[in-house]
Structure 1
Amino acid sequence: MDQHGQATVTIVANQSGTAGNLSSPADTELVSAPMGINSRAIIQTLAGGTEAETNASLLARLLDIIRRPPAGGNKYDYRRWALEVPGVTNAFVYPLRRGLGTVDIAITSADGLPSADIIKAVQDHIDDVRPVTAKSSLVLAPALRPVNFVIEVVLDGITLEAASQEITNVITDAAGRLAPGEPLIRSQIEMRISLIPGIRDRRIIAPVENVIALVDRNHLEWLRVGRITVRLFS
């Protein structure tokens, strides 16, 4: 308890799954607050909740082992080791990002950022199984970088509301396929929007060019969708 009578505590969801994840602060109220404690509280963030692994996901991991059998610590081994930890839904390996002898592993959880506990669990697991000669391995969460879109369209037989939803789906799907560090190619978004029935013409106002994620020894950006604005040609 600090001088203002406030305290920060760690909480855990009582049910597994993504429903308990929370990306922004939210007000809540304790059901049975201890005597002398105000029942009002603020939940800062909750992360790391994932759904049970599907048969398709399990099969994909099995096929990955068959296609790329253990090889004494190559980049595919590091990815497989990370995926062995509960709560990790994907992993991306970046050899030599911080120099010779280094291997960095960016992990995601439920298509979002992992919790600090998951990052530590993956780091501990990799430190336990990696080759003893490996100089330095670092498990981290990528830094989210939102990309805002402004799209102008000419419509034919479709409402602006329907076009906006279709365009949002297209952009979200395209950006959702990007790995941390990968660029967003503007022309690919344009092509996919052009294929939407009812859109006769389109123009991307923003971004004005390809969006390049910053990747160096201190940064690893992950491009995500920000605000999407769709309007008629002006």
Structure 2
Amino acid sequence: MPFLRPSLKDIADRITADLDSRMGGAAFRRSVKSKLATSLAGAVHGLYGYLDYLARQINPATATDQYLRLWCVVWNILPREAVIAKGQATFTGNPGAAVPTGTLLTRSDGEPFRVVTGVTLASGTAIADIEAVNAGQAGNTEAAVLLQMPSPIEGIQADATVNSGGITGGVEAENDDSLRDRLLLRIRKPARGGNGDDYVRWAREVPGVDRAWCYPNKMGLGTVSLTFTASDMNNPIPDADLVTAVTERIDAVRPVAMKERYVYAPVAHPQTITITNLKPDTPEVRSTIEAELKDLFYREAKPEDGNGQGVVPISLVREAISVASGETDHDLVSPVDDIRPAEGAMATYGGVTWQTA
């Protein structure tokens, strides 16, 4: 039988009854006994709360924070650390002027960046490697965005332009849910010297990787095919750098007897959701629906393996819209059936088209 934690009122009533039995007389509302019972009940209730917290930490399936990380130490699971976004920017100015290493730049929202290696403007322009000061996704910046130097440099224009590749690669530190999932995978499916679960675990050790899928012998006997998603809800399809990082990790730990490995990103299969007759049709409700749909595809979509693994049921799409805060009614125009991407592709969020009467 599970232990039922008593409420604050139950504890206060018990203490009051105990005091009455020992001291005699009723505990009136403003009596000393009543105030004493309330104070003791608050302290005891806090202890119950702490014991409840500790009880969750003794099981790796419910542990959090530093206790979860202590469990990971036991099983040799290393939390993925945050990664700094990196890219290039073009500086303009007088020929011969120099941008020193460490020069600070700021985005319009205040996000700071710095020059990794100083450059000299040979013909009025120069491209410099730059990186975000703070690790995480906040440093990811699209191409053509202007970065401004807070402290001007003689002969250099104050604004630098982010190059075509953008500033990318910024990844948040691994959260408890992801870390716990990897820990439970390690416990439930122990290492087997290179089975499919091992490849999934190895891939998910790389910063920036969210989920992974392994297909043994897909490209022939003795081969291993691995695909995965990035831990970026706005763009879950891994870029070339992340594919390279996972490939290098797999090559460092895979069994020597493996014939060949194939590490690749799934092909994006964007899905545009069309909705009409939304009630109430407000910007706030539209925003919450878009957030729910984006979360749905990020959380539930999988690469199609030829056996229906990548199917996203239409019922999940309807559910995501219906659970959005503030939504009371809508008509889903498209899709009209389960989403079925081609083999090797994965359904991704492609935005919402709103139809009005």
Distance change (3 Å), C-alpha of 1:189 and 1:121 = closer
* Residues 1:100 and 2:221 are matched in the alignment: yes
Partner of 2:92: none
* Residues 1:187 and 2:305 are matched in the alignment: no
Q: Give, in whole Å, the separation in 2 of the partners of 1:169 and 1:231.
A: 18
Tell me how far 1:115 sits from its aligned partner: 4.3
SS at match of 1:108: strand
The counterpart of 2:202, out of the listed 59, 63, 81, is: 81
The counterpart of 2:328, out of the listed 169, 192, 199, is: 199
* Residues 1:26 and 2:149 are matched in the alignment: no
Distance change (3 Å), C-alpha of 1:121 and 1:194 = closer
Partner of 2:277: 153
Cα distance per residue 1:132-175 (max 9 Å; x no partner): 121211222222222111112363xx344344234323322321
Q: Give, in whole Å, the separation in 1 of the partners of 2:345 and 2:192.
A: 29
Q: Give, in whole Å, the separation in 1 of the partners of 2:261 and 2:154.
A: 43
Q: Give, in whole Å, the separation in 1 of the partners of 2:189 and 2:332.
A: 41
The counterpart of 2:295, out of the listed 173, 179, 190, is: 173
Q: Give, in whole Å, the separation in 2 of the partners of 1:41 and 1:84.
A: 34
- Whose relative contact order is higher, 1 or 2, with alpha carbons under 8 Å and at least 6 apart? 1
Corresponding letter in the other structure for 1:16: A
How many residue pairs are counted as aligned between the two chains? 222
**RMSD after superposition:** 3.2
Calculate percent identity across the aligned residue pairs. Answer: 33
Corresponding letter in the other structure for 1:167: I
Tell me how far 1:18 sits from its aligned partner: 0.9
Cα distance per residue 1:167-209 (max 9 Å; x no partner): 3233223212212331222233224435666534x33222243
Distance change (3 Å), C-alpha of 1:195 and 1:85 = closer
CA contact 2:226–2:262 (8 Å) conserved in 1: yes
**Greater radius of gyration (CA):** 2
Distance change (3 Å), C-alpha of 1:72 and 1:206 = same
Q: Give, in whole Å, the separation in 2 of the partners of 1:142 and 1:120.
A: 14
* Residues 1:16 and 2:135 are matched in the alignment: yes
Higher helix fraction (1 or 2): 2
SS at match of 1:48: coil
The counterpart of 2:187, out of the listed 66, 78, 82, is: 66
Tell me how far 1:81 sits from its aligned partner: 0.8
Q: Give, in whole Å, the separation in 1 of the partners of 2:154 and 2:217.
A: 51
User: What runs of 5+ residues in structure 2 fail to find an aligned partner?
Assistant: 1-122, 305-309
Corresponding letter in the other structure for 1:76: D
Cα distance per residue 1:20-64 (max 9 Å; x no partner): 123x42333474889799964333233322112234433332221
The counterpart of 2:162, out of the listed 42, 51, 55, is: 42
Q: Give, in whole Å, the separation in 1 of the partners of 2:124 and 2:270.
A: 36
Q: Give, in whole Å, the separation in 1 of the partners of 2:228 and 2:162.
A: 27
Partner of 2:255: 131
Tell me how far 1:89 sits from its aligned partner: 2.9
Q: Give, in whole Å, the separation in 2 of the partners of 1:63 and 1:213.
A: 30
Q: Give, in whole Å, the separation in 1 of the partners of 2:168 and 2:229.
A: 10
CA contact 1:48–1:114 (8 Å) conserved in 2: no
Q: TM-score, normalised by structure 2?
A: 0.53
Q: Give, in whole Å, the separation in 1 of the partners of 2:341 and 2:328.
A: 30
